[in-house]
Amino acid sequence: MSEIKGKVLSVTGNMVAGDFAGDIMQNEVAHIIKDGKRLKAEVIKIKNNTAYMQVFENTKGIKAGDGIEYSGKMLSVRLGPGILSQIYDGLQNPLPEMAKAFGIFLPIGEEIAPLAMEKIWEFTPLKKTGEIVSRGDVLGFVPEGIFKHKIMVPFNFTEEYEIKKISAKGRYAVKEEIAVIKGQDGKEISLTMSFDWPVKYPITAYKEKLKPSDALVTRIRVIDTFFPVAKGGTYCIPGPFGAGKTVMQQITSRHAEVDIVIIAACGERAGEVVETLTEFPFLKDPRTGRTLMERTIIICNTSSMPVSARESSVYTAATLAEYYRQMGLNVLLLADSTSRWAQAMREISGRLEEIPGEEAYPAYLESRIASFYERAGLVRLKDGEVGSLTIGGTVSPAGGNFEEPVTQGTLKVVGAFHGLSRARSDARKFPSIDPLESWSKYKSFIAEENVKLAKEILFKGAEVNQMMKVVGEEGTTVEDYVVYLKAEFLDNVYLQQNGFDDVDAATIKERQEYVFNVVCKILKKRFSFSSKDDARKFFYELRHNFIDWNYKEWQTEAFKKQEKIIAGSIAG
């Protein structure tokens, strides 16, 4: 524990300036002492002998002369078994435990251990006495839900160590010693099942970082087919308020083919967070048949909380996600909404009196956004296993303006852009991803020539639609009108999904490939209609038959029967 102390010099909102005598470091945790309470803060700037700290609590009542204690430790999270299914705040305090201990209104200056240190786990060793290990090497594992939670050598250990002692298979508490290792200096180090890691430093205890290539199947057709996301890739979902960003994230977290889902509510509105907290523990996991919460972690900070808490939640979520990636698991991190995080940075930057950039955001906004998304990736671990961390962030540009700094800074670093449309949302077209504005740098599992054909139909159909708004339907040819109907057909039967239907809400990879081939046959087919009324009637009936097909279980008799009806109408 550091012995360095100081006094408060000034208070500006959640920004406190204090002096110190000795050596401190940036991102160090400090505590401001007020009426016996210890208010947690993080040092974010040091100038001469003044430390500027963002306080994670309400600073009401703090005044010049109050005491400060500098911890000598970086802002960190505790890593170990028991993280899954937890609901944390941005500082990794378990919120359900906080509510039990203190009630609905949480007092300032209180903390609770993020892991149940007394909980017993069934430990199985994988190493023996005398073996040489280094950071990230697996000493053993404990079962955590459906996963093997690997107990690893702490990631901050920079040299090789000899195992002097390792516990036999048995039941141990998190706080109990499970191994003793000896460093090259001859010192012995006792290891438990848990250790700390600073949240603003990426975990890099792997062998190599690979280029993401395989598509992450989200089971959302418009994403998987047209704007795919890669395992270990990045994507963003910008859109105006009410366009369905939170709904998109909840559907993705439920159906995406990943092992672990981490939701970082880094400053969303309280109502949406409450909905997530109340629904997730009772949602059925389509993959396991158990509750979805068993493989989910929620980091919860709303826009009503201090700005510094919003910022910390982003880094806490990223660190927990990297930790489970180190176990060879596929992790999906969903941040909602990064705009609130950026607004928190803007507020803190203003209080530090830094030179502002565009729209008063800090000049380093883009580098901060980039450093967050760069923590995603596909990695090969030391034991040969491969783990992935995919990061998807929502952006809430005011008025749906995609030219604002946060959206533009995000677009420069992500691999896919799923732009939500207010017009599509108002028309009840879900998902409301705009197929004309969205894009992806990743490769879909659908044949490239078919995707290209479908996109061309969508663009041509949009052009015909715009033309009809000027000259009317009667001013277009039958051929152009058929192109418009094909685009509308593709939109209605494939781009849209019914989230309330158990079958249509999520479409597996094999079904997407099969159905899209049928859709493309229709898009390629040259129809001969005598009038626009005939064309409209044909596509109206075909659309309803296709939507009915979407509601049939994959490869059942009902599915095959409906397919024959569609084939007959096309052939006729």
Q: Is 239 within any annotated ligand binding site?
A: yes
Q: Is 243 within any annotated ligand binding site?
A: yes
The span from the CA of 368 to the CA of 398, in Å, is 20
The span from the CA of 229 to the CA of 415, in Å, is 8
Q: Which two tokens stand for residue 81?
A: 């078994």
Q: What is the dihedral of CA 523, 529, 533, 536, to 10 degrees?
A: -10
DSSP state of 434: -
Exposed, middle or buried, 225 (CB in 10 Å: 0-12/13-18/19+)? buried
- Those residues whose C-beta lies under 8 Å from the C-beta of residue 520, and which sit 6 or more positions away, are 450, 453, 454
Task: Confirm if 275 and 319 have CB atoms less than 8 A apart.
Answer: no
CB-side neighbour CA atoms (13 Å) of 30? 36
Q: Which two tokens stand for residue 521?
A: 């046959």
Phi, psi for 18 (deg, rounded to 5): -145, 160
> In Å, what is the CA distance from 542 to each residue of 435, 521, 564, 571?
22, 13, 12, 12
- Those residues whose C-beta lies under 8 Å from the C-beta of residue 544, and which sit 6 or more positions away, are none
Q: Is 242 within any annotated ligand binding site?
A: yes
The span from the CA of 200 to the CA of 315, in Å, is 6
Q: Is 459 within any annotated ligand binding site?
A: no
Q: Which two tokens stand for residue 293?
A: 């919460």
DSSP state of 286: T
Q: What is the dihedral of CA 376, 381, 386, 388, to 10 degrees?
A: -10
Query: Which residues, in sequence order, are bridge partners of residue 43?
Result: 53
Task: Confirm if 523 and 454 have CB atoms less than 8 A apart.
Answer: yes
> In Å, what is the CA distance from 332 to each residue of 115, 156, 190, 208, 387?
22, 24, 33, 20, 11
- Those residues whose C-beta lies under 8 Å from the C-beta of residue 283, and which sit 6 or more positions away, are 254, 291, 292, 293
Q: Which two tokens stand for residue 310?
A: 């919003």
Cis previous bond, 81, omega within 30: no
Three-class SS state of 441 = coil
Query: Which residues, in sequence order, are bridge partners of residue 356?
Result: 362
Q: Which two tokens stand for residue 415?
A: 């691999």
Binding-site entries: 239-246
The binding site for ATP consists of 239-246
